[in-house]
């Protein structure tokens, strides 16, 4: 560690602000939105696997590139971040950013419209769509509820057919 040079003292005396701008939490979140294999998604995959359900990941040929696909049951699962996709069950999803409100409203509105379009495109192709929210993966009971939603649409005749991955 060297002592502060006279340069720093002079700058301080002139009232210069340091020119380092760290990314805000939201900017970091934004950079992470595209990342695949997020922790909540891994939690859901692990739980499905434990139930003996076979799945595929990120089928790019399907609308919205669903996070998890159970091809035998024609089920697609999206594991959605609460803030980004407007979760109605927790305050992360209903939070209104205070700064740049117009930008964020447009951004989140666009996400929701895209989500809606993906769901209708998928159902139009005969797929059942299940949405699992990030907040559900953080709570054991809620996660069980989310898995029940998936199991409820699993085709019973095919259930014996799974688990051979």
User: How many chain residues are in contact with Zn ion, going by CB under 5 A?
Assistant: 7
Question: Based on CB atoms, which residue is closest to Zn ion, 127 or 133?
Answer: 133
| The only residue of 78, 133, 143, 146 in contact with Zn ion, by rule CB under 5 A | 133
Question: Which residue's structure tokens are 């669903």?
Answer: 66
The residue (of 73 and 85) whose beta carbon lies closer to Zn ion is 85
Q: Which of 135, 143, 146, 150 binds Zn ion (CB under 5 A)?
A: 135
* HSE-up of residue 19 (Cα within 13 Å, Cβ side): 1
What single string gives the DSSP state of each residue in 90-141? SHHHH---STTHHHHHHHHHHHHHHHHHHHHHHHHTT-EEEEEEGGGGGSHH
d(CA 112, CA 109): 5
Where in 56-95 is the site for Zn ion (CB under 5 A)? 82, 87, 89-90, 93
Q: Which residue lies nearer to Zn ion by CB, 100 or 139?
A: 139
Residues engaged in binding Zn ion (CB under 5 A): 82, 87, 89-90, 93, 133, 135
């Amino acid at each position: 560690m060297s002592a502060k040079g006279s340069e720093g003292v002079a700058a301080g005396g002139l009232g210069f602000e340091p020119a380092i701008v760290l990314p805000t939490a939201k900017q970091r979140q934004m950079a992470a939105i595209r990342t695949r294999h997020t922790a909540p998604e891994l939690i859901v995959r692990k739980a499905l696997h434990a139930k003996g359900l076979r799945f595929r990941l990120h089928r790019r040929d399907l609308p919205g590139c669903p996070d998890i696909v159970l091809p035998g049951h024609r089920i697609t699962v999206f594991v959605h971040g609460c803030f980004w996709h407007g979760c109605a069950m927790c305050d992360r999803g209903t939070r209104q950013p205070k700064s740049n409100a117009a930008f964020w409203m447009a951004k989140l509105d666009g996400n929701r419209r895209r989500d809606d379009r993906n769901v209708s495109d998928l159902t139009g192709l005969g797929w059942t769509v299940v949405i699992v929210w990030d907040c559900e993966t953080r709570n054991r009971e809620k996660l069980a509820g989310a898995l029940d939603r998936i199991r409820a649409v699993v085709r019973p005749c095919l259930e014996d057919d799974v688990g051979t991955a």
